[in-house]
Amino acid sequence: MTATAEQVLHEVFGFDSFRHSQREIIETVIGGGDCLVLMPTGGGKSLCYQVPALVMDGTAVVISPLIALMQDQVEALQQLGVEAGFLNSTQDHDQRWDTLNRLSEGRLKLLYLSPERLMMPETLNVLAQHPVSLFAIDEAHCVSQWGHDFRPEYRQLDCLPERFPDVPRIALTATADQRVRREIAEQLHLENARRFVSSFDRPNICYRVADARDGKEALWRFLQSEHPDDAGIVYCLSRKDTGKIAEWLSEKGRTALPYHAGMADVERAANQRRFLLEDGVIMVATIAFGMGIDKPDVRFVAHLNLPKNLESYYQETGRAGRDGLPSSAWMAYSLRDVVTLSKFVDDSEASDAHKQVMQQKLSALLGWCELTTCRRRALLAYFDERVEADCGNCDNCLWPPEMIDSTEEARLALSCVYRTGQRYGVGYLIDVLRGKSGDERIARNGHDQLALFGSGSDVDTQNWRDLYRQLLAAGMLTLDEEGYGGLRLDPACRPLLRGETQFSMRRQPKRARRGAAAKKPALELRPGDDALFEALRQWRADLAKSQGVPPYVIFHDATLAALATHRPTEVDELIDISGIGAGKQERYGQEVVDVIREHA
């Protein structure tokens, strides 16, 4: 007798109920229908094809762009007692042969492949002779030229419906971009597939943008006060910074490793492996890092520089908290980042129309950074999702910014841009406003003769800087095309200069600036339970090390927390704990119970 989807969920995965639209998706696939699944990171996409794979006859073929991801998923499935394997270029001939053998003997319920490997004649031949239950196309946005991760090989997947007309296909992605979604449906011939669109909200992620005078120090305060021993990612714009920041964090006693595309392959792979295998590692990386990393317990994603646009920001921060536990998305940025990114766009090879779109996206991001209202609502609205209420879990909701009438200062700041000829950057403008004495360049330009020279000396430099940034974000100023940060007036500033409108500056309340703990710790344990939790973590770490697998494929933190709270002392009570199915109960039940009993 074959198991039902419900039974598989309980017995194999140890979960109580389906999430979002998992049940409907799974039923559609089992019924032979195609699906296009749009679900945020951490939403539970894998289950949407893993459960059907275990219910249906034959082998499910999962197409995935990244080797690390395949290995992780296969390891996790094997831990559950599921017959799964992968074929990729890291294997030697014997290992591949073994997988193909298991496939042809019908011993594999899931087979993970890269698109190139699938398209090889030898693979297609084997699959043609063997019952395939379904094709799952993971990270389906790789088929889109508009996406960030375009993989030309994904385009060849359009031949699947012709070659395997009776096999249902399910394409999955976490991309929230409408254009990319349309392209997925077209390219993969999934126009008639049933579409499942979940909310893209990630309620467990707290969004924060720091008004940082010094990003590095602010990062340190944030890490120490909220994530003193958590694993996380720190994104930097430059490769050089990744090394410097990682070293700096290491000197301060954290385990921090650099990662960028210019590093030697071996070193890069070794750092990634440590991030996955050890607890509490901080990866300091460029955006080369992250795609295909499905480590569930990344507790924070910090940006030390502005990301490229809101799409990238959402994708990068989405790597936090896949396990659903509270996590942080934290960012510090400066006007210099805006100048750098804007210059990247100008210097790129793209067409003028494309550059214009990129600049607009950068402005939208800047506007979001300087927002005074709920960040989550604005973020979701950007992705065409309407939310009725403020979230209560972003900095603006938690510590509403103060609005300070700065009309006079704003006019002065704009006049200074105008009087100096609309070509200087913020540093110079502030020197003029504050009346810097003995400055050669100012003297040479005769700007020390201007009436406004020194008229802003009672406002400190950082305040002027914040003001210029906010005027830029509000569209009153624009960056000139030279790429050195020169500011020009935008016609939008006229009413303000003419005295017809006011300008208010946002200021973060002190508490937010100091990095007050945003919310409850990731796991709420009763006082006495944390010792047991730590003991279970240690047991898991040792076991993971001896098996050479990441700790989370053995048990997630949430499962350990449930064990620490409920303290089952008999093996057959373990099945009630979320995340423990029959396979794990049999494999680890006795050891878990021993750890708990020792602690009683």
Distance from C-alpha of 48 to C-alpha of 136, rounded to nearest angstrom:
9
Q: How far is CA 16 from CA 12, 81, 322, 546, in A?
A: 11, 19, 18, 30
Please report how close the Cβ of residue 498 comes to Zn ion at its closest, in angstroms: 35
Q: How far is the CB of 583 from ligand ADP (least distance, A)?
A: 14
Measured from the CB of residue 322, what is the shortest distance to ligand ADP in angstroms?
Answer: 5
- Residue of 2, 7, 19, 373 that binds ligand ADP (CB under 6 A): 19
Instruction: Tell me which residue has tokens 């296969």.
Output: 74
Among 15, 333, 368, 464, binds ligand ADP (CB under 6 A): 15
| CB-neighbour burial class of residue 237 (10 A; exposed 0-12, middle 13-18, buried 19+) | buried
Determine phi and psi for 210, rounding to 5 degrees: -90, 135
41 binds ligand ADP (CB under 6 A): yes
At 591, give phi and psi (nearest 5°). Answer: -65, -40
Alpha carbons 164 and 117: distance in angstroms, whole number:
17
Q: Which helix (H) or strand (E) holds 40?
A: none
CA dihedral 38, 40, 44, 48 (to 10 degrees): 10
Contact pick of 26, 28, 45, 393 for ligand ADP (by CB under 6 A) = 45
The correct pick among 29, 30, 34, 44 for binding ligand ADP (CB under 6 A) is 44
User: Residue 290, interface with ligand ADP (CB under 6 A)?
Assistant: no
Binding residue for Zn ion, selected from 394, 479, 512, 593, defined by CB under 5 A: 394
- Looking at 107-255, list the stretches that DSSP marks H as alpha helix, in order from N- to C-terminal side: 115-119, 121-128, 160-163, 178-187, 215-226, 239-251
The least distance separating ligand ADP from the CB of residue 380, rounded to whole angstroms, comes to 17
391 binds Zn ion per the rule CB under 5 A? yes
Judged by CB under 5 A, does residue 397 bind Zn ion? yes
Q: From start to end of 267-334, where are the E strands?
A: 282-285, 300-303, 327-332
- Residue 336 burial (C-beta neighbours within 10 Å; 0-12, 13-18, 19+): middle
Among 374, 380, 459, 476, binds Zn ion (CB under 5 A): 374
Positions 320 through 349 that interact with ligand ADP (CB under 6 A): 322-323
Contact 504, 364 (CB under 8 A): no
Smallest gap from residue 187 Cβ to ligand ADP (A): 21
Total of residues contacting Zn ion (CB under 5 A): 6
Q: Which of Zn ion, ligand ADP, none sits in contact with 173, Cβ below 5 to 8 A by type?
A: none
Q: Which of 280, 296, 435, 509 touches ligand ADP by CB under 6 A?
A: 296
Using CB under 6 A, which of the segments 34-42, 103-111, 210-218, 453-461 binds ligand ADP? 34-42
Name the token pair of 491: 């016609």
Q: Scanning residues 546 to 565, which ones bind ligand ADP (CB under 6 A)?
A: 556
Give how many residues touch ligand ADP by CB under 6 A: 17
DSSP label of 403: E
Specify the residue, 138 or 395, whose C-beta has the smaller distance to Zn ion. Answer: 395
Q: Which of 5, 8, 12, 18 binds ligand ADP (CB under 6 A)?
A: 18
Per CB under 6 A, 36 contacts ligand ADP: no
Q: Is 39 in the site for ligand ADP (CB under 6 A)?
A: yes
476-480 contact pairs (CB < 8 A, 24+): 476/410, 476/414, 476/503, 477/414, 477/417, 479/338, 479/339, 479/342, 480/422, 480/423
Per CB under 6 A, residues contacting ligand ADP are: 15, 18-19, 22, 39, 41-47, 294, 296, 322-323, 556
